[in-house]
């Protein structure tokens, strides 16, 4: 459970990006954070991940004040995948093993338990066959799965992802969604900033729709279209038809 209470954040030179926002993201749920560009989606995610310090307000993670965790203890509670990051010259396996960093002691050596967590993460994401490959030689979709595997190895009950499916082809998008659903079914709290409305509506259990740093809609996914909040935020009207469903083909 992630709880935000009256969070405010802004840079010195402008109006606050997030003003007095309160929200609650439950365990065993996928929460899509939606909103037009500049509505504060990524800022909200960074605040939840303690990457930014709020001007005011409190953050509680797993029922405790987030400020009470030290850096590694917090990383064991909450994993965060930013939208962009450099691609280091390391193997997939080494990247996934870095997910264990908050679990390691002073010697920084992987224990048998850590090795198992890495192997599990590689297996779940279907990356075993490329575990020894240099990260930079992978396609964008596989690379994204490698980062997701790193998050899985981190084994935190809360997962925050910033646009994980953007720029991926449809096959990889659906694969990623299936993995995220499996993580939710393990009882984890999954929060995803998403760009693709249709995908968000089919993946998420709950939606938080932001507009200029304020929540326009906060509740179950079913209710967001009838509420009219999408029209208000994006200026488009969603039309519901008998939906076309894609599904992952098991290969």
Partner 1 sequence: MRISQTSSSANEPGRTRLLAAVLALLLIAAALFSLCVGASGTSLLTGLADLLRGVSSPAARIVRYIRLPRVLAAMLAGAALAASGVLIQGVLGNPLAGPNVIGVNAGAGFCTLLCACLLPSAAKLLPAAAFSGALLAALIILLLADRMGASRITVVLAGVAISSIFSAGSDLITTLDPDATLGMSAFMIGGFADVSAARLRTAAVYILPALAAALLLAGDLDVLALGDEVAASLGLRVRRTRVLLLAVASVLAGAAVSFAGLLGFVGLIVPHAVRRAVGGEHRQLLPLSMLGGALFTLLCDTAARTLFAPYEVPVGILLSLVGGPFFLFLLLRSRKGARI
Residues in binding contact with partner 1, number by CB under 8 A:
44
Beta strand 2-9 with 56-61: parallel, antiparallel or unpaired? antiparallel
Which residue's CB is nearer to partner 1, number 55 or number 212?
Answer: 55
Calpha distance 58→122 (Å, rounded): 35
* Binding of residue 7 to partner 1 (CB under 8 A): no
In the complex with partner 1, the residue whose CB is nearer, 88 or 238, is: 88
Task: Show the binding pattern over residues 146-165: x = contacts partner 1 (CB under 8 A), - = does not.
Answer: --------x-----------
Cα separation, 189 vs 206, whole angstroms? 11
Residue at token pair 């990383």: 75
CA distance linking residue 43 with residue 99, whole number of Å: 23
CB of 76 to partner 1, least distance (A): 7
| Segment interacting with partner 1 (CB under 8 A) among 9-17, 32-40, 47-55, 221-229 | 47-55
Residues 127-146 that bind partner 1 (CB under 8 A): 128-134, 136-137
Beta-strand pair 30-34/18-25: unpaired
Q: Which residue has the tokens 């998008």?
A: 173
Least distance (Å) from partner 1 to the CB of residue 238? 32
Of 172, 180, 224, whose CA–CA distance to 201 is shortest? 224
Q: Tell which positions 65-124 bind partner 1, by CB under 8 A.
A: 71-76, 78-82, 85-86, 88-91, 93-95, 98-99, 101-102, 104, 108, 116, 119-120, 122-123
The DSSP output letter for 35 is -
131's tokens? 């575990």
Minimum CB distance to partner 1 smaller for 63 or for 86: 86
Interaction mask 163-192, partner 1, x per CB under 8 A: ------------------------------
- Residue 10 beta carbon to partner 1: minimum distance, rounded to whole angstroms: 17
Residue 216 and residue 39 in contact, taking contact as beta carbons nearer than 8 Å: no
Does position 49 interact with partner 1 (CB under 8 A)? The reply is: yes
Residue labelled with tokens 């995908």: 199
Please state the φ and ψ torsions of residue 159, each to the nearest 5 degrees.
-125, 130
Helix (H, G, I), strand (E, B) or coil at 25: strand
Binding site for partner 1 (CB under 8 A): 49-51, 71-76, 78-82, 85-86, 88-91, 93-95, 98-99, 101-102, 104, 108, 116, 119-120, 122-123, 128-134, 136-137, 154
């Amino acid at each position: 459970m992630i709880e935000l209470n009256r969070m405010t954040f802004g840079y010195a030179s402008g109006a606050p990006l997030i003003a007095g926002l309160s929200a609650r993201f439950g365990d065993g749920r996928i929460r899509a954070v939606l909103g037009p560009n500049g509505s504060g989606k990524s800022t909200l995610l960074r605040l939840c991940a303690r990457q930014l310090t709020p001007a005011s307000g409190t953050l509680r993670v797993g029922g405790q004040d987030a400020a009470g965790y030290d850096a590694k203890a917090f990383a064991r509670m909450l994993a965060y995948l930013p939208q962009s990051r450099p691609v280091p010259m390391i193997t997939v396996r080494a990247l996934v093993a870095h997910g264990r960093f908050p679990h390691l002691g002073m010697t920084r050596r992987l224990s048998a338990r850590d090795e198992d967590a890495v192997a599990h993460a590689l297996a779940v994401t279907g990356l075993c066959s490329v575990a020894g490959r240099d990260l930079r030689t992978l396609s964008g979709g596989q690379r994204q799965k490698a980062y997701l595997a790193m998050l899985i190895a981190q084994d935190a009950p809360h997962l925050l992802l910033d646009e994980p499916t953007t720029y991926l082809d449809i096959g990889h998008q659906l694969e990623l969604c299936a993995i995220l659903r499996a993580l939710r079914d393990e009882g984890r709290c999954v929060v995803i900033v998403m760009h693709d409305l249709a995908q968000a509506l089919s993946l998420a259990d709950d939606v938080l729709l932001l507009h200029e740093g304020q929540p326009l809609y906060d509740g179950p996914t079913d209710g967001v279209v009838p509420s009219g909040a999408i029209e208000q935020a994006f200026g488009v009207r969603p039309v519901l038809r008998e939906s076309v469903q894609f599904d992952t083909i098991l290969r």
